[in-house]
Every structure is written in C-alpha cells, then in structure tokens.
Amino acid sequence: MATRIMILNGPNLNFLGVREPHIYGKTTLREIEASCEQVAQLLDVSLSFHQTNIEGELVGLIQQAHGSMDAIIMNPAAFSFTSVALIDALKIFDGPKFEVHISNIHARDELHRHSITSTASTAVICGLGPYGYIAAMLAAVQRLGRMPAAIPAALHGFEA
C-alpha cells in the first residue's frame, strides 16, 4: 500500500515565483508540486497537494487527513505566526507532521521569525528553498518506516 501524504500550503504561496523572489526564489508552486509528484513516484507515495489562502480551509484539510493520510507536510506561510486553530487541528492528527518554510525564518525579521505552529509539528525544515518539500517527503517516508528498498540505503536514515 502506498504511503499517503498530504501537502498543504498557506496564504500567498500561489504567488511563489512572483512574490519577493529575493526571499522565496523564482520557483512556482506548480513547479514544486510537479517535483513532489516525481519524487512521490520514486517513494511509492500517494500525494494530495493543496493551497489555500483561507485558514479554515487548512483546518478542514487537516481534519480530513485524520484517518486517511499517513503524514502531513505543511507550509503554513503567514499562519505560522498567528494560527492557534492550525495548532489545534495538527494536534488531532496522529501521524508525522513536517512544517516547511522556503526561507530560513530564523534569519528573518522579528515578525517572521517565530513559528507557533511548529509546536504541533514533528519537525521543521526551513531555509532549503523548494527542496525543503522533497526533504520533508523523504523524512516522512523514513519516519513511517516505509522507504522503498530500491532507494539507496544512505537515504533510509538512522534509527532514533
């Protein structure tokens, strides 16, 4: 059975490639999704990829993931710094939850430095650019113990 991963993207990420390319780069969200789809095939992952500018829709998607997905990867974007609702929804989900940020939020201005949603995440990946999504997919499959045998042993990770 394929590993089921839901990737969620918050507000304004639909403007990646246009919005502040000096911070977020020139890669579009559609290009990130296409890369994730390619990696999903290698990892035997069934991928569900979403973007919304509406906080309540993200909460609803997280709730839908309960019982139907094995892991969540989320770039909450601006909601990282404000959303108690996302924290509460993430606490409902039992599987691994990876928070991804394209920029290194720890090197940003005070407003963009402290993610509150990370308190409900298994791990946080930031500053790797769009590759952070791929790193999160690898980490999710490894954490679930479902790395395909065809993947080189070095990518299987280490036991905790």
Q: Report which of residues 114 and 125 the model is more confident about.
A: 125
Tens of pLDDT, residues 92-120:
999 999 999 998 887 766 766 678 898 99
Query: Within 10 Å of residue 150's Cβ, how many Cβ atoms?
Result: 8
Please, what is the average pLDDT of the chain?
93
Q: What span, in angstroms and rounded, lies between the C-alpha atoms of 42 and 104?
A: 27
Give the E-state strand segments of the chain in sequence order.
3-9, 45-51, 71-75, 97-101, 123-126
What's the pTM? 0.94
Count helices and strands (H / E) in the chain: 5, 5
Q: What is the CB neighbour count within 10 angstroms for residue 55? A: 18
Which domains are present in the chain? 3-156 (3.40.50.9100)
pLDDT in tens, 77-90: 989 898 999 999 99
pLDDT at 160: 60
Q: Is residue 133 annotated as a catalytic residue, yes or no?
A: no
Q: Which of 24, 50, 114, 156 is catalytic?
A: 24
Q: Is 116 exposed, middle or buried (0-12, 13-18, 19+ CB in 10 A)?
A: middle
CB 132 within 8 A of CB 125: yes
Catalytic residue among 101, 112, 133, 156: 101
For this structure, is 24 an active site residue?
yes
Q: What percentage of the chain carries pLDDT values higher than 70?
A: 96
In the predicted model, is pLDDT for residue 50 greater than 80? Answer: yes
Distance in angstroms (rounded) separating the CA atoms of residues 62 and 80: 15
Q: Write the Ramachandran bin of 25: left for phi over 0, alpha for psi from -120 to 50, otherwise beta.
A: left
Rounded to an integer, what distance in angstroms lies between the CA atom of residue 93 and that of residue 132?
Answer: 21
Residue 56: what are its φ and ψ, rounded to 5°? -60, -35
